[in-house]
Each structure stands twice: as structure tokens, then as C-alpha cells.
DNA sequence: TGAAATGTTGGGGCG
DNA sequence: ACGCCCCAACATTTC
């Protein structure tokens, strides 16, 4: 049997559920199709496209080593997948499922077109530790609080990695080169902004994390200066590494940090499940009473936040790390999200969009879930009255000011005493720093946020 | 996966 | 020695 394997967000030959089954069932032709509808989205980030292009090059090289070549096409998937299936005389098309509403609709359309043309379709779960729908609460409803969700997931056996695929079939589909970023209409991101995409680089990142990150993960993961994270977020986003492989190798090391790390992986599952069961979160609050929030409209404040010029060192450091690298430490994601919504009183969707515009790991479900958590509008959200104080967050999680100085060079000479509250230094000192005044005063904004949220409480 | 406001307690300075 | 006050440290409540 000839099987066209449609790669999507699973850009690897290793531990790939659908691909492994295809290799057991027949001769596998590797295929990838980029889509104008996705590349044309207004919230796409150049760093993220760049990551995909790197990953495709790496995947193409792996396909060559496996005795084949990666067939590439560009266009509406209903047309390109059908065309590839016909041209390669495939009996079946296999792929791994995606769970975003738009992708599910697309996949249904592709499946219908293939079946109508007499081509078999098989779809697999690959992307998460637990498939959407596989865990429900006692009432049969989806979980909307993380801890019970995690406990229910932990009742299930951890999914085991599947065999790597080493042989693919030769075929006559046209050989195309992976497009260059500029040809797709994107400006090349700065050097430090591109983490190298691809399964090869992903394996290196996992090895590095196991070698020197995991031991510190428990104690230092909340310290943005420490780089104790895995840096695998974009790899999990694009499937350049399998979440099963990551969990299995981390847990094989044992210990509290390993268990903690896997429980963080389950947040990714949780928000994918939330989006799957409650697709309305894509555009509105999970708890609809919060759709009535009356956000401020102020493009100057929004611009200051985006540019990292709010006058709050932690906020500005986080926003500048994002702009410069396509990444932001998770602690900072929470701080800047709290600041946008609770200090600037601006709509969380503006922040969500900005993150998608810049994050290499930008993922609809995780990003939306994180923003709704911070804004207090979502499932298992922090209560609206939990408001981060950016100064205290800085003093707690960046006690030496190391992270701030790294990303806000104007403050590189500021003493530790004032690094998180430069507004308290003398005017003479402040004049030497060329650092913006606070755009708002936290202590003044907090009651305004409480009033804004209080107004919509049911 | 907060922080501020408020309440309580206990040690020490001091008359 | 005793009572009073202050306030830091910690706990609890509130937003």
C-alpha cells in the first residue's frame, strides 16, 4: 500500500504516531503543504515562520537519509493534499490530528475530498500526552480547573514513544526547495531572534536540558535570569520533538524536578483541551460575564507596553526580550500580561495578538489560555483581584536585577537598591539613565482595575 | 502561579 | 518589678 503522510505540526521522523503506523502499513511518501490562509494571518510572527522553514529543511534532509524526498506544495490544503495523493497514486493519506477549530474544519474538508476521490484516510492522536476528550470529570463534562484535570491525566498510563521511522519510499512528486523567508514576505528577524528550528536542534535542546537544566528546574525555573527552562516550547509547538519522548526521557531521570516538569507539560494539554471543548475562548472570555468588561482604549499606552517603555523595569525587560528573541520567560509572560490588563486596563486580546506576532512558540491554545488566566476571564483563572505588583515581582524573582540589566541596558548602572523602582532614585541619578518615567502608577491603577472588574461581577 | 489591609503577638525600651 | 507603648514579625482577611 502506498501511503501519503501529510506532515503538519509534527515535523520529525522520530516518535511520530501517524508516521510510525504508516511505515508499518506500507510505503510512505512524505508530504508537506504550506497554506496562504495560515501564512496570511495577521498575527503571524517572522520568528515562527523562520522556525518552520528551518524545521522543514531539517525534515527534508532526514527524508533524504531515509531514501526519499520531502514533497512540498503551497496552497489550500483541500487542493494540495488531494493533488499529491493522486499524483503519487497513494491508496491512503495519514496524518496526526490538530485541535484548533480552524484546523479541525480544514481537516474535515480535506478528509471529505479524499474520501470522495476514493482515497482512504487515517488520522492519529500524536500532539498531546492525553487526547482531547480522553479525560472528563465525573459528570461527563470537560475539566475547567487545572488540578483535577492533571490528577485525572495522571490516572492514565503515560503514552509510550513509538519507533522512529528510518525508511521512506522514493516517489515522483516534484522536488521543491524550502522557500526563503523574504519570498514569503517576512523581514528576516535579527540573529539572536532565531532559535534554530528542526528535529536535530530539538534533540540537542532536550539533551542540554537533561544535562544541566533539569536539576535546577525545581528551584530556578521561576528566575528569569537563570535560564533553567527547557527551551522546548517551539519544538513542542511544531512537533520537532515528541511530547512523549520529552516526558519519557525527563521522567527516566526521576526526582521532584522531573515530576514538576511533566506537570508543566500538562498545562499545554489542559489549554488544548479547553480550546477543543470551548472554542468560543478563541474570540471571547471563557466566562462570558467578562465580555462586558469596559477596557480602556489608549494607543500610546499600548505602544509603550509593546516597545518595553513603560517605566517598570521587569515589564520592559520582558517585552524587550520578546522583541529581540521571539521568546519570553514564563514568569515575565505573567507579569507583562497582568500589567497590560490590570495596570494599563487594556483588553487582553491586544496582548494575545502581540504575543502571537512575536513568539516563536506562539500557539493559539496555550497563548489564549495564558492570557485569559492572567486577565482573570478564563478557566481556572486567577481571581480578578489578584494583581501583580511589577516592582515586587522583580524583587522576588530577579533579586539582583540581573535579568533587568540584560534587557534594559539603560539601567545597567543602576544600583540593586533602585533597579526595580528607579522612580525612587534622585532626579540627578535618573537623569543619567535615560529611562522612561512610569506611564502609570501601579498603586493608582490597582483600585481602577478592581472597580472595572467589580462592575461586571455577577 | 498576589498583594494590601488588618489583626495578633511578643519582646524590649522606658517611665 | 510593673505597666504601657511601640513596632517588628507573623497570621488572617480582604480585594
Terminal-residue alpha carbon distance, chain A: 59
Check: CATH 1.10.390.10 for A288-454? no
Which grid cell is A346? 487594556
User: Within its chain, how far is the Cα of A287 from the centroid?
Assistant: 23
Contact indicator for A342, A452 with CB cutoff of 8 Å: no
Class of domain A2-126: alpha beta
- Give the domain ranges of chain A: 2-126, 128-160+199-277, 288-454
Does the pLDDT value for residue A179 go beyond 90? no
Q: What is the pairing mode between strands A71-74 and A92-96?
A: unpaired
Provide the whole-model pTM: 0.96
- What whole-number distance in Å separates Cα of residue A51 and Cα of residue A448? 41
Dump pLDDT digits (tens) for A357-369.
999 999 999 999 9
8 Å CB contact between A294 and A455: yes
Question: Cβ(A401)–Cβ(A414) under 8 Å?
Answer: yes
The pLDDT tens digits of the residues spanning A11-43 come to 999 999 999 999 999 999 999 999 988 888 888
Using N-to-C axis directions, what is the helix angle for A199-212 and A46-65, rounded to 10°? 100
The nucleotide minimizing the C1' distance to residue A384's CA is: C15
Per residue in A367-419, pLDDT (tens digit) is 999 999 999 999 988 899 999 999 999 999 999 999 999 999 999 999 999 99
- Grid cell, residue A158, equals 503515560
The gap from C-alpha A193 to its chain's centroid, in whole angstroms, comes to 16
Q: Could you give the 3-state DSSP secondary structure of residue A422?
A: helix
The set of residues with CB closer than 7 Å to nucleic strand B is: A 146, 222, 264, 267, 330-331, 334, 373, 382, 385-389, 392-393, 396, 442-443, 446
Check A6, A95, A195, A371 and give the catalytic one. A371
> Would you report the helix, strand and coil content of chain A in percent, each value rounded to 5?
55, 5, 40
Write phi, then psi, for A5 (nearest 5 degrees).
-100, 120
Q: What is the pLDDT of residue A41?
A: 86
**Residue in A95, A305, A348, A407 annotated catalytic:** A348
Nucleotides of B under 7 A from a protein CB: 1-4
The 10s digit of each residue's pLDDT in A230-273 is: 999 999 999 999 999 999 999 999 998 999 999 999 999 999 99
Q: What is the pLDDT of residues A183-203, one digit of tens each?
A: 888 888 877 766 899 999 999
- Is the C-beta atom of A450 closer than 7 angstroms to strand C? yes
Q: Tell me the nt nearest to A334, Cα to C1'.
A: B1
Q: Is the pLDDT of residue A181 over 90?
A: no
Identify the CATH number of the domain defined by range A128-160+199-277.
Answer: 1.25.40.80
Amino acid at each position: 500500500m502506498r501511503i501519503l503522510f501529510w506532515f503538519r505540526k509534527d515535523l520529525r521522523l522520530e516518535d511520530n504516531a501517524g508516521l510510525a503506523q504508516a511505515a508499518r502499513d506500507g510505503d510512505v511518501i512524505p508530504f508537506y503543504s504550506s497554506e496562504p490562509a495560515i501564512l496570511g494571518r495577521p498575527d503571524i510572527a517572522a520568528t515562527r515562520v523562520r522556525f518552520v522553514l528551518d524545521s522543514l529543511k531539517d525534515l527534508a534532509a532526514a527524508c533524504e537519509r531515509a531514501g526519499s524526498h520531502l514533497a512540498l506544495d503551497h496552497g489550500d490544503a483541500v487542493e494540495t493534499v488531494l493533488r499529491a495523493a493522486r499524483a503519487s497514486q497513494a491508496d491512503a493519506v495519514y496524518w496526526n490530528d490538530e485541535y484548533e477549530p480552524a484546523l479541525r474544519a480544514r481537516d474535515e474538508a480535506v478528509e471529505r475530498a479524499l474520501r470522495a476521490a476514493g482515497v482512504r484516510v487515517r488520522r492519529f492522536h500524536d500532539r498531546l500526552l492525553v487526547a482531547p476528550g480522553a479525560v472528563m470529570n465525573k459528570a461527563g463534562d470537560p475539566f475547567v480547573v487545572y488540578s483535577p484535570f492533571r490528577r485525572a491525566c495522571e490516572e492514565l498510563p503515560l503514552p509510550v514513544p513509538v519507533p522512529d521511522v528510518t525508511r521512506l519510499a522514493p516517489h515522483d512528486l516534484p522536488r521543491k526547495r524550502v522557500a526563503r523567508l523574504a519570498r514569503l514576505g517576512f523581514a528576516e528577524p535579527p540573529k539572536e531572534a532565531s532559535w534554530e528550528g528542526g528535529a536535530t536542534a530539538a534533540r540537542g535542546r532536550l539533551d542540554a536540558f537533561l544535562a544541566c537544566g533539569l536539576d535546577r528546574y525545581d528551584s530556578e525555573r521561576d528566575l528569569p535570569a537563570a535560564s533553567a527552562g527547557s527551551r522546548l516550547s517551539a519544538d513542542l509547538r511544531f512537533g520537532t520533538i515528541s511530547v512523549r519522548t520529552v516526558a519519557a526521557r525527563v521522567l527516566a531521570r526521576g526526582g521532584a524536578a522531573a515530576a514538576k516538569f511533566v506537570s508543566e507539560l500538562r498545562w499545554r494539554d489542559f489549554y488544548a483541551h479547553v480550546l477543543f471543548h470551548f472554542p468560543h475562548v478563541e474570540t471571547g472570555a471563557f466566562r462570558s460575564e467578562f465580555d462586558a468588561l469596559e477596557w480602556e482604549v489608549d494607543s500610546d499606552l499600548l505602544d509603550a507596553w509593546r516597545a518595553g517603555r513603560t517605566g517598570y523595569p521587569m515589564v520592559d525587560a520582558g517585552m524587550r526580550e520578546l522583541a529581540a528573541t521571539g521568546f519570553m520567560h514564563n514568569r515575565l509572560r505573567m507579569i507583562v500580561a497582568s500589567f497590560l490588563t490590570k495596570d494599563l486596563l487594556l483588553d487582553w486580546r491586544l496582548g494575545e495578538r502581540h504575543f502571537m506576532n512575536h513568539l516563536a512558540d506562539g500557539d493559539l491554545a496555550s497563548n489564549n489560555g495564558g492570557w485569559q488566566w492572567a486577565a482573570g476571564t478564563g478557566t481556572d483563572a486567577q481571581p480578578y483581584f489578584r494583581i501583580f505588583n511589577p516592582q515586587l515581582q522583580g524583587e522576588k524573582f530577579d533579586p539582583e536585577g540581573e535579568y533587568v540589566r540584560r534587557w534594559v541596558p539603560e539601567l545597567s548602572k543602576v544600583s540593586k537598591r533602585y533597579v526595580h523602582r528607579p522612580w525612587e532614585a534622585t532626579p540627578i541619578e535618573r537623569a543619567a539613565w535615560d529611562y522612561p518615567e512610569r506611564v502609570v502608577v501601579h498603586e493608582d491603577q490597582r483600585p481602577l482595575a478592581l472597580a472595572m472588574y467589580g462592575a461586571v461581577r455577577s
